[in-house]
Amino acid sequence: MEIKLNLIPQYQKDEIIQANRLKSILRWEIELTIIAIIFFSLLFSLNYLMKFNLEAQTSEFASKQSKEKYESIASLDENFKTVNVMMTLDESIQKDQLYWSRMFDKLSSAISDGISVNKLANKNYKVLIAGIADTRDVLIDMKDNLAQESCFVNVNLPLSNLAAKDNVEFQIEFDIKEECIKNK
């Protein structure tokens, strides 16, 4: 059997107990401080990750918006190109358009009473008029009126058409100047 004798005075025993308590309290404070440091470092790292994800999402959203704007602008650009092609085509068609009504206006002023036109034909800028004139003089006047018109050139009335004096069947050919029936 062992006997333990405690020869330490009471005030030293109290000091030892207080020292042990102080050591326990210090150890707990150190452990709690370490736990708090680990907890706050986790919070800071989570905060950093959340900011990084937010920046990535914001950047992706901005790029998606700019991509949509770019696609919208590209679509509008394609529409403008299509409209421009159509306008160019329309302008070229209008530029090459022949306005035969101008020729008819000039022709109606050149044809006098006593002439009936039975046939009117054209090929490119060459016109053929066939019909019947009451007299040879009326037919010659019509030929002279056509020759005086600035839009008609190379007016040709064959002499064989002038053989009869009354009820003269005729055919007159002439060329029309291009600028008279086209827009400039």
Q: φ, ψ for residue 150 (rounded to 5)?
A: -70, -25
Q: Does 137 or 162 have the greater pLDDT score?
A: 137
Contact status, residue 180 vs residue 106, Cβ threshold 8 Å: yes
Contact status, residue 157 vs residue 144, Cβ threshold 8 Å: no
Asked whether the predicted pLDDT for residue 25 surpasses 90, the reply is yes
Q: Of all helices (H) and strands (E), which one includes residue 101?
A: helix 100-110
**pLDDT single digits (tens) 138-177:** 888 888 888 888 888 888 888 877 777 888 888 889 988 8
Superfamily of domain 100-181: General secretion pathway protein M, EpsM (3.30.1360.100)
Collapsing DSSP to helix, strand or coil, 5 comes out as: coil
pTM value? 0.48
The closest alpha carbon to 142, from 150, 128, 151, 133, belongs to 133
pLDDT level of residue 184 (50, 70, 90 thresholds): low
Domain residue extents for the chain: 9-96, 100-181
Portion of the chain with pLDDT greater than 90, in percent: 24
